[in-house]
A and B are shown apart, each in its own frame.
Chain A
Amino acid sequence: MSTILQISNLSKSFDGIQALNRVSLDLPRGKISAVIGPNGAGKTTLFNVLTGFLTPDEGEVSLGGKIIEDMRPHKLALLGIGRTFQNVRLFAQMTVLDNLLLAMKNPKGVSLWAALARPQIMQAEEHANRARGLELLELFRLADKAGELAENLSSGQSKLVEFARLLALNTDILLLDEPMAGLYPEMIETLKKTMQALITQGKTILFVEHNINVVMDISDHIVVLNHGQKIAEGPPQEIRKDEKVIEAYLGKRQDASA
């Protein structure tokens, strides 16, 4: 099993609160990994560090064996680490389709020069991107919302559009922060299938989720955080039985839910 993202000794504290305390983990390539843990365990902080929105106090991250030197957010996104946000971040006063188009590569059409002097080239690229955007929206049965302003969507729809936008970004690694929260059961199934389909396309997923059934169901690998520390790591069947995890997160009566 090869490692795509190697995190070593990552620490981050805020005003004395140790949000991440020397966390190390290897993200297996082409697998679904989950991060679980109680609120305030450092899951979102981990995501924020991995996507460059927070600078770690210490520790480093390697992608494909190479230490990432420039941890600015847009650089990481271009390197292939994409994410969604726990509090969905759509471009509210823009259309759903524009939200997706923003994520798509448009090397020919994005320059100022193209805008001023080469509209045909820009249009051709736009046309292809639009078609791709509608395709992605159709995955979640949202193609009819393409022209709607993002701010007019329900919270569940926003969540799906954000996921579709991440697919439009087309990164190798997808970090999903609570992708299932607030979705109706049928859509959770769709999302699970989509995640599994992404794996067959060679993508790597790391997600934070409190819906423990989903986590146990689709994860190949689970990491458990508590108080900023990694307390366990392994396949679902091991995690389910781990005393420390039961103590910190799953609770004693885990047989009722699992």
Chain B
Amino acid sequence: MDYVLHIMVIASIYVILAMSLNLIVGFTGLPALGHAAFYGIGAYTSALLALNFGASPWIGLIAGAITAGLLGFVISFPALRLKGDYLALATLGAGVIVYSIAKNWVAVTRGPMGLPGIPGFTFLGYPLDGVWAYLILVLAFVGLTTFVIGRIVNSPFGRILKAIREDEIGTQAMGRDVNYYKVMVFMIGAAFAGVAGSLYAHYITFIDPSSFTLMESITILLMVVFGGLGSLRGSMVGAVILVVLPELLRFLGMPSSIAAPLRQMIYGLLLVLLMIKRPQGLMGHYRFK
């Protein structure tokens, strides 16, 4: 039973990641390939604060959101100058930089040895032990993310984001400062990824750089594209399916040496099938141009 709950916690964390990336990629049309960087910096900030200063995970979560948001602010600057593939490469580069720092700044992050013994969340003084308690916590943040991002994309603010996706020049001609919106979107998306990172760190209690690689960014992007660009429900469905599906392989009694590469192959195959049969994603309306 705990195993099922565990999968649900992990899926929920990915739902937050996918929705926050969808704000950037799906709603605003900025191809970003560095989401794991925001996820990672949130996890590390929160974990380091708890381990070195005994800070409550709640403080860590807020701090993680802020540092990730600041990183989003920094990374948004290339986004003001670069478009399309070039922006994808720049954000990919940013992701690699953050990963390298986590791996090589041993004095702070302990590098590849990782940070063990991260304390868990407490609620009103009671430690949240038991997976189900964490599930409730994470689901609450899924709710918060859905509320905030949902409100944003369904507002006049969100309409401008979609307009940027459709035609930047036209958006400028309507008197809208495209740069402002791009910076905001990167900051908001990054902050929620930071929250996901903090939730992950205090749940698993151990983090190392291998959780925040380029492959991780690609997986999150895959969830977004699979579920549908510009659809929050799609991001939920995409994240859940891509987390649960590989787990099912375990029940086929496959040794992990086969199951792991098979997981990658299934991701690839799903994506190829989807692009042929339903390029807008499972629940999306918006098509890639």
Interface of A toward B, CB cutoff 8 Å? 51-53, 72-74, 77-78, 82-83, 85, 89-94, 98, 101-103, 106, 109-112, 114-116, 119, 122, 125-126, 165, 169
Contacts and interface: CB of A to CB of B under 8 A. Distances in A.
B155 A115 contact: yes
A244 to B, nearest CB: 33
12 contacts: A51-B173, A52-B172, A85-B169, A93-B285, A93-B287, A94-B166, A98-B162, A112-B152, A114-B157, A115-B152, A115-B157, A165-B174
Nearest to A52: B172
A102 B148 contact: no
Contacts of A73: 169, 172-173
Contacts of B172: 52-53, 72-74, 77
B171 A116 contact: no
Interface stretch (B102-110, B176-184, B211-219, B271-279): B176-184
B151 interface: yes
A103 B148 contact: no
A28 B154 CA distance: 42
Contacts of A119: 151, 155
Size band of the interface chain B makes with A: 20 to 34
A102 B177 CA distance: 12
Interface of B: 148, 151-152, 154-160, 162-163, 166-167, 169-178, 184, 285-287
Given A91-B167, A102-B163, A78 B155 contact: no
B27 to A, nearest CB: 12
Contacts of A89: 167, 169-170, 173
B169 A102 contact: no
B169 to A, nearest CB: 6
A78 B175 CA distance: 5
Given A102-B160, A102-B163, A169-B175, A91 B170 contact: yes
Contacts of B148: 116
Contact of B156 (A53, A72, A94, A101): A101
Contact of B173 (A83, A112, A114): A83
Instruction: List the 7 closest A-B pairs by CB distance, nearest first.
Output: A115-B155, A77-B175, A91-B166, A73-B172, A89-B170, A78-B175, A115-B157
Contacts of A114: 155-157
